[in-house]
């Protein structure tokens, strides 16, 4: 089975920052998609905030098994309608990988229900991501840690709900630690937050980072049928006789319940 992946990038730094443009001349979104397409099981396409319907029309989301999201400077430019569409698809079963500064994206904060704030420092220091869940599918093919020579420091406290699983803990030269790989389930959808990926460092060319993203896509890919949350009013399924309706009730037969 081919996993259909959409990589969403806000595509702002690439247009306004010469350093980022030199490192990612085709955009971070394209670099991430290229890395995923190294795997014959994955078919990745890249879209941006500047595309029609902010790159995420209903038809495209319907055709997406896993969505990757990178944002930083333009979180506030993402429309309510875009957030609503993505949230609905995650609840229906689409996987979501939230990358680096997208911890502050509107969709991640919506799904987490918290501020998702953290400590940070841009100093180009070494980041060592320790694998603390070695049996997890996301870390297969890695050693006991992966190391990035230059990275932006993200540090605790990280204001997110307690995760279902912690996959990585990062240690930085300056002494801070950070839960840099977290998984969640929302509705039918799986979510993986992965911390590294600052725009002024060539992190998305790193072979180990690319392996994590490929593994993450395969882990987050929907396993079953699409679930539609529509809160229907239904008759009993197992009663041998019609269930006696007691009292006046608030709804007429066949009417949808509260939503």
Domain that holds residue 57: 3-113+181-220
Residue 254 lies in a domain: no
CATH code: domain of residue 40: 3.40.50.880
What pLDDT sits at residue 244? 67
Q: Which sign does the torsion angle of CA 165, 72, 13, 53 carry?
A: positive
Number of domains in the chain: 1
Own/partner pairs, 84-91, CB within 8 angstroms, 24+ separation: 85/56, 85/58, 85/61, 86/56, 86/61, 87/111, 88/229, 89/61, 89/62, 89/64, 89/189, 90/186, 90/187, 90/189, 90/191, 91/186, 91/187, 91/188, 91/189, 91/227, 91/229
Residue 44 lies in a domain: yes
Six-digit token pair at 4?
């259909």
Residue 255 lies in a domain: no
8 A C-beta contact, residue 43 and residue 7? no
What pLDDT sits at residue 232? 84
Residue 43 lies in a domain: yes
8 A C-beta contact, residue 180 and residue 169? yes
Residue 174 lies in a domain: no
Residue 56 lies in a domain: yes
Q: What is the DSSP letter of 170?
A: E
The segments of the chain whose pLDDT lies below 70 read 239-259
What pLDDT sits at residue 258? 46
Pairing type for strands 189-194 and 177-186 reads antiparallel
Residue 214 lies in a domain: yes
What pLDDT sits at residue 257? 52
Q: How far apart are CA 183 and CA 132, in angstroms?
A: 13
Residue 202 lies in a domain: yes
What pLDDT sits at residue 259? 46
């Amino acid at each position: 089975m081919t996993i259909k992946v959409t990589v969403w990038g806000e595509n702002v730094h690439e247009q306004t920052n010469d350093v980022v443009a030199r490192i990612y001349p085709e955009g971070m979104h394209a670099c991430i998609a290229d890395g995923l397409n190294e795997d014959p099981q994955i078919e990745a396409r890249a879209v941006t905030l500047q595309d029609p319907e902010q790159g995420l029309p209903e038809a495209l989301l319907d055709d997406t098994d896993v969505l990757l999201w990178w944002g930083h400077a333009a979180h506030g430019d993402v429309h309510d309608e875009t957030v609503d569409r993505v949230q609905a698809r995650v609840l229906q079963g689409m996987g979501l990988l939230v990358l680096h500064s997208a911890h502050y994206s509107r969709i991640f904060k919506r799904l987490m229900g918290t501020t998702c704030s953290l400590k940070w420092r841009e100093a180009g220091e070494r980041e060592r991501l320790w694998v603390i869940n070695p049996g997890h599918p996301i870390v297969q093919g890695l050693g006991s840690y992966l190391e990035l020579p230059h990275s932006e420091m993200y540090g605790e406290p990280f204001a997110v709900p307690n995760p279902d699983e912690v996959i990585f803990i990062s240690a930085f030269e300056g002494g801070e630690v950070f839960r840099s790989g977290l998984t969640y389930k929302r509705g039918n959808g799986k979510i993986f937050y992965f911390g590294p990926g600052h725009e002024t460092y060539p992190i998305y060319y790193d072979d180990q980072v690319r392996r994590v993203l490929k593994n993450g896509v395969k882990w987050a890919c929907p396993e079953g049928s699409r679930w539609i949350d529509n809160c229907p009013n239904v008759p009993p399924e197992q009663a041998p006789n019609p269930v006696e309706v007691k009292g006046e009730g608030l709804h007429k037969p066949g009417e949808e319940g509260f939503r």
